[in-house]
């Protein structure tokens, strides 16, 4: 069950929590970051760690970012020095409920199952009712459920029929569910049946069609299952009740998954060992830095002058022995970063220009025009 996915696709449209159809066919959900092949303490994995976006990290409340690993096959030329060979993004089986294409009998798999369940009957209707059939691979059902708070889980087949999950869950050989099609192309033509095997044969306990199920409240509350994190009936952990009503959706629906994308302009940190420490200490003063920035924005050239730097020092740090010319030079080396991160009008203008730029880069002329608009 392998399929090439570009790094950008691992964020959208195949980001964490998205369903992806793989050869088989099999539907898998992109697992959470905890399952990614990345260990912060592993020196070989440092190449996937992104630490040069401190402003975006602070905005999202994280320490660093991790980029999806690129898949590398064994290269004989690299020899024993090759690292990060065969790393793959993790995916889990979902939905877990499967049905038999021959008799419609349903079975529930687990998230980590590599193979689909198999079915050999018994057949539930017709002249062959109660008999076995040739062993067939079961296929995943088309319907799942989701709530408005972003949780996703299997369609609650047992609860939809008003049955007790402990009695009709995984592992029972004397009772099962069966998913049947009556010939209609609509949801009304799909029926789920609960059956039990007893001494007299197969006994139908309950049946209900999916008429009216799609897009409506199923009458079942969300229990915070999360296939991407292995939380739910197919894993080891159960989620805490969410309480939001569940709605039925098709697993291939276009409105099922939307990546939460945050955009930011990348501005590399300026590191200049030639700037004296006492100047760097001054630049740590927020109020002083704001005055210096205001002086630069007010100038005709967009650069902080020696005179403006001297006035700010006299106002904020009259005791300082720092040369205004040295301070002005240091500020001008950092000024673009401050403008981009603190002036929202300029930042908005630059973001709009970056989105329409062919290669995503901005020329000095564009930056100058955006600063002028502020």
pLDDT digits (tens, 9 = 90+) for 3-19: 677 788 888 888 999 99
Tell me the percentage of the chain whose pLDDT exceeds 90.
35
| Phi and psi angles of residue 245, each rounded to the nearest 5 degrees, phi first | -60, 140
Residue 49 has pLDDT above 80, yes or no: yes
Query: Where is pLDDT greater, at 110 or 369?
Result: 110
In the block, tokens 């999202």 appear at: 60
Residue 109 pLDDT class (50, 70, 90 cuts):
very high
Which H helix or E strand runs over 354?
A: helix 344-356
pLDDT digits (tens, 9 = 90+) for 54-86: 778 888 888 889 889 888 877 655 555 678 888
pLDDT beyond 60 at 203: yes
In 3-state terms the chain splits into helix, strand, coil percentages (rounded to 5) of 30, 20, 50
Find the helix or strand (DSSP H, E) in which 65 lies.
strand 65-66
Burial class (CB in 10 A: 0-12, 13-18, 19+), 181: exposed
Cβ-proximal residues to 18 (8 Å cutoff; 6+ apart), any chain: 29, 30, 257, 259
Nearest Cα to Cα of residue 86 among 73, 99, 98: 73
Q: Would you say 361 and 300 are in contact if contact means Cβ atoms under 8 Å apart?
A: no
Strand order in the sheet with 139-140: 106-108, 97-99, 139-140
117-173 confidence digits (pLDDT tens): 999 989 988 888 889 999 999 999 999 999 998 899 999 999 999 998 888 877 778
Per-residue pLDDT band at 186 (split at 50, 70, 90): confident
- pLDDT the model gives residue 227: 92
**Is the pTM higher than 0.85?**
no
Residue 372 pLDDT > 70, yes or no?
no
Helix (H/G/I), strand (E/B), else coil: 231: strand
Instruction: Identify the bridge partners of residue 192 per DSSP, sorted by sequence position.
Output: 179, 208
**In which band, very low, low, confident or very high, does the pLDDT at 285 lie, cut at 50, 70 and 90?**
confident
Q: What is the mean pLDDT of residues 107-124?
A: 93
How far apart are alpha carbons 60 and 40 in whole angstroms?
A: 19
Q: How far is CA 219 from CA 155, 191, 224, 247, 340, in A?
A: 12, 18, 15, 9, 50
d(CA 119, CA 191): 19
Task: State yes or no: cis peptide before 122, omega within 30 of 0.
Answer: yes
| Residue 264 in tokens | 């930011």
Of 22-26, 190-194, 278-282, 330-334, which gets the smallest average pLDDT? 330-334
For the chain, percent of residues with pLDDT exceeding 70: 83
Tokens of 374: 């502020």
Q: For residue 268, what is the DSSP state?
A: P
C-alpha 339/C-alpha 185 separation (Å) is 59
What span, in angstroms and rounded, lies between the C-alpha atoms of 105 and 124? 8
């Amino acid at each position: 069950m392998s399929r090439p996915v570009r790094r950008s696709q691992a964020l959208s449209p195949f980001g964490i929590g998205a369903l992806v159809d793989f050869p088989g066919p099999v539907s898998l959900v992109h697992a959470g970051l905890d399952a990614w092949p990345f260990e912060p303490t592993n020196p070989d994995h440092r190449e996937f760690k992104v630490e040069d976006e401190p402003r975006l990290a602070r905005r999202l409340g994280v320490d660093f970012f991790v980029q999806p690993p690129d898949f590398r096959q064994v290269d004989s030329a690299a020899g024993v020095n090759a690292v990060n060979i065969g790393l793959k993004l993790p995916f889990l089986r979902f939905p877990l409920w499967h049905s038999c294409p021959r008799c419609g009998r349903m079975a529930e798999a687990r998230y980590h199952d590599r193979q689909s369940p198999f079915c050999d009957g018994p057949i539930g209707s017709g002249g062959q009712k109660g008999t076995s059939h040739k062993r067939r691979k079961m296929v995943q059902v088309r319907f799942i459920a989701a709530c408005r708070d972003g949780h996703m889980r299997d369609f609650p087949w047992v609860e939809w029929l008003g049955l007790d999950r402990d009695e009709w869950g995984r592992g029972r050989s004397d009772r099962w569910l069966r998913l049947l099609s009556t010939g209609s192309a609509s949801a009304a033509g799909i029926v789920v049946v609960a059956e039990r095997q007893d001494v007299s044969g197969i006994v139908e306990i309950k049946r209900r069609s999916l008429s009216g199920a799609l897009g409506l409240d199923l009458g079942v509350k969300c229990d915070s299952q999360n296939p991407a994190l292995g939380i739910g009936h197919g894993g080891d952990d159960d989620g805490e009740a969410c309480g939001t009503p569940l709605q039925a959706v098709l697993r291939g629906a276009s409105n099922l998954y939307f990546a939460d994308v945050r955009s930011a302009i990348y501005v590399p940190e300026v590191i200049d060992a030639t700037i004296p420490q006492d100047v760097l200490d001054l630049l740590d003063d927020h109020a002083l830095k704001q005055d210096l920035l205001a002086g630069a924005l007010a100038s005709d050239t967009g650069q902080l002058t020696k005179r403006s730097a001297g006035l700010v020092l006299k106002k904020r740090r009259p005791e300082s022995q720092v040369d205004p010319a040295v301070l002005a030079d240091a500020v001008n080396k950092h000024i673009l970063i401050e403008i981009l991160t603190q002036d929202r009008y300029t930042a908005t203008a630059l973001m709009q220009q970056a989105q329409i730029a062919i290669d995503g880069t901005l020329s000095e002329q564009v930056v100058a025009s955006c600063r002028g608009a502020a």
